[in-house]
């Protein structure tokens, strides 16, 4: 197991006074020396720098530093380099401590003490390869909340009140402006006293020991396992599809096929019978010609029937009524009905509605789509699926949900909560079951991804085993499906924010 070290030097900024604040270790909170304000450090920021080093380590030479600026959940000027621990004072190499060391480590040359300790749990969670840390300072609290860094507390300083001459005692926890106990006037602590109690700190190197797989390697291995598991699930996938629309479209083809089959059977019976016409060459030639003619006629009839069905659907059938209903809905809300001028297109609506981007396009894979702001889920009712690299495949343990969505991915934080919080998992499932109960027997395609939630009902949707047919929604289903998808999108947003989603009417 390869052992590797990284040296970090980091400066952040105080949210209050804007002064630079050194971050001399894996700390979740430090105090600004200028205004004494607590600066909280986002764990993901430090963890991200550690993971960045792990990814770029092979490109760095020993002792070579990479410098940069990180902005987002805080401002950080940082550098990291590939090097073994050294003393922050005299730069002498430090002895390599055992992985389980937890305590002071003196420099063999100058005697300056350094703190060696296991990597904090919050860092290990985000950077599994981070094993041990070495720094001059150490975080005071070992609990799960932010803890300020241990500081040497200089002895209190006594000064005289500038108004009455009374004694004022100034400590490290005193405010810059003190109230005199005798004359009740405010006294400003001079810079010399304040600096003595709060000496300015400089950025110092601190080190992290890494072992085992990097976060990227671990994520890649997890991804390969997820994809293999998904492949097995898709091979075994047998979701019952609604056939209401398919039966109608197959009826015409069934009649044509039955007629052709009957003619061919009759001809073959004549050809191979042992009656008086057996061996008649003229009859055999006639039979061959009739078979060719029947085949050609059958192909032509199938083509004509398919074309006729397509034209009738967009002129007089459900597709035409769907187009008319979409036009009426667009007019009701003053929406633009795009592509309505084309004969064989139902058209589309792409607008902002109830604070969300919506798209109604019955000719598309997903007839109605409602926008989401970076959904924590990636769900699809059928392959293929192309989830983001940051997502992980998950199981809810509920057969109905897991079989309905053979493609199931989510953000790691959401998966963790689904697995450990029964109430949260129940709320997630109930949100989707509310929608599935209303549309289950009619859903042809459904997805939830980083852009939005979308669905296409089965009647009229093109499915490979039924061939290409006009796509449509029944006129009365356009608006109810839109409203239900908006409600589902709202519940998914609640799930992302950690709230308890509630279906309409609950």
pLDDT attached to residue 26: 93
pLDDT attached to residue 145: 52
Helix, strand, or coil (residue 372): coil
Distances (CA, A) of 401 to 379, 407, 434: 10, 11, 12
pTM confidence score: 0.56
Dist CA 355 CA 372 (whole Å): 10
pLDDT attached to residue 267: 58
H or E, element range at 61: none
Helix, strand, or coil (residue 151): coil
As given in the structure block, the two tokens for residue 317 are 């059938």
Which ranges of 42-110 would DSSP assign to H, the alpha helix?
A: 43-56
pLDDT attached to residue 148: 56
- Number of separate helices (H) and strands (E) present in the chain: 11, 22
Q: Which residues of the chain have pLDDT under 50?
A: 142-144, 239-250, 252, 274-275, 277, 464-467
Each residue's pLDDT tens digit, 8-52:
999 999 988 888 999 999 999 988 877 778 899 988 899 999 988
pLDDT attached to residue 313: 67
- Size (the chain), residues: 506
Dist CA 171 CA 191 (whole Å): 14
pLDDT attached to residue 172: 73
As given in the structure block, the two tokens for residue 353 are 């509605």
Phi, psi of 70 (to 5 degrees): -120, 125
Dist CA 70 CA 11 (whole Å): 10
CA angle 71, 61, 117 (to 5 degrees): 65
């Amino acid at each position: 197991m390869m052992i590797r070290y990284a040296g970090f030097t980091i400066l952040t900024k105080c949210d209050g006074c804007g002064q630079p604040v050194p971050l001399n270790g894996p700390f979740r909170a430090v105090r600004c020396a200028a205004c004494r304000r607590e600066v909280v450090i986002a764990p993901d920021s430090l963890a991200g720098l550690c993971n960045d080093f792990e990814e770029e380590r092979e490109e760095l030479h020993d002792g070579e530093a990479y410098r940069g600026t990180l902005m987002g959940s805080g401002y950080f000027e940082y550098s990291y380099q590939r090097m073994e621990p050294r003393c922050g004072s005299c730069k002498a190499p430090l002895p390599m401590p055992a992985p389980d060391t937890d305590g002071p480590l003196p420099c063999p040359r100058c005697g300056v003490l350094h703190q060696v300790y296991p990597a904090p749990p919050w860092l290990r969670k985000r950077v599994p390869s981070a094993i041990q840390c070495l720094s001059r300072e150490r975080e005071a609290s070992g609990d799960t909340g932010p803890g300020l860094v241990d500081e040497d507390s200089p002895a209190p300083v006594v000064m005289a009140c500038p108004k009455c001459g009374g004694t004022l005692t100034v400590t490290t926890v005193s405010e810059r402006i003190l109230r005199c106990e005798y004359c009740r006037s405010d006294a400003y602590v001079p810079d010399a006293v304040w600096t003595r109690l709060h000496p300015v700190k400089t950025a110092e190197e601190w080190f992290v020991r890494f072992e085992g797989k990097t976060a990227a390697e671990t994520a890649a291995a997890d991804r390969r396992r997820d994809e293999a598991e998904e492949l097995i699930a898709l091979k075994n996938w047998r979701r019952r599809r609604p056939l209401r629309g398919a039966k109608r479209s197959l009826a015409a083809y069934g009649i044509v096929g039955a007629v052709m089959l009957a003619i061919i059977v009759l001809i073959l019976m004549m050809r191979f019978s042992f009656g008086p016409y057996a061996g008649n060459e003229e009859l055999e030639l006639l039979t061959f010609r009739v078979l060719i003619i029947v085949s050609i006629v059958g192909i032509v009839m199938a083509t004509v029937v398919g074309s006729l069905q397509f034209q009738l659907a967009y002129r007089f059938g459900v597709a035409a009524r769907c187009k008319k209903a979409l036009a009426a809905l667009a007019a009701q809300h003053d929406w633009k009905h795009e592509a309505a001028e084309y004969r064989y297109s139902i058209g589309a609506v792409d607008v902002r509605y109830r604070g969300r981007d919506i798209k109604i396009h019955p000719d598309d894979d997903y007839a109605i789509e409602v926008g989401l702001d970076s959904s924590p889920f990636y769900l699809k009712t059928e392959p293929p699926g192309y989830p983001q690299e940051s997502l992980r495949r998950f199981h809810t343990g509920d057969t109905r949900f897991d079989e309905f969505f053979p493609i199931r991915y989510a953000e790691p934080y959401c998966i963790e909560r689904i697995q450990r919080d029964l109430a949260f998992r129940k709320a997630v499932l109930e949100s989707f079951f509310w929608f599935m109960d209303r549309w289950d027997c009619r859903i042809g395609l459904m997805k939830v991804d980083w852009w939005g939630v979308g669905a296409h009902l089965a009647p009229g949707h093109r499915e490979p085993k039924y061939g290409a047919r006009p796509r449509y929604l029944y006129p009365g289903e356009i608006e109810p499906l839109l409203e239900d998808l908006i409600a589902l999108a709202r519940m998914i947003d609640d799930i992302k924010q950690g709230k308890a989603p509630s279906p309409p009417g609950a």
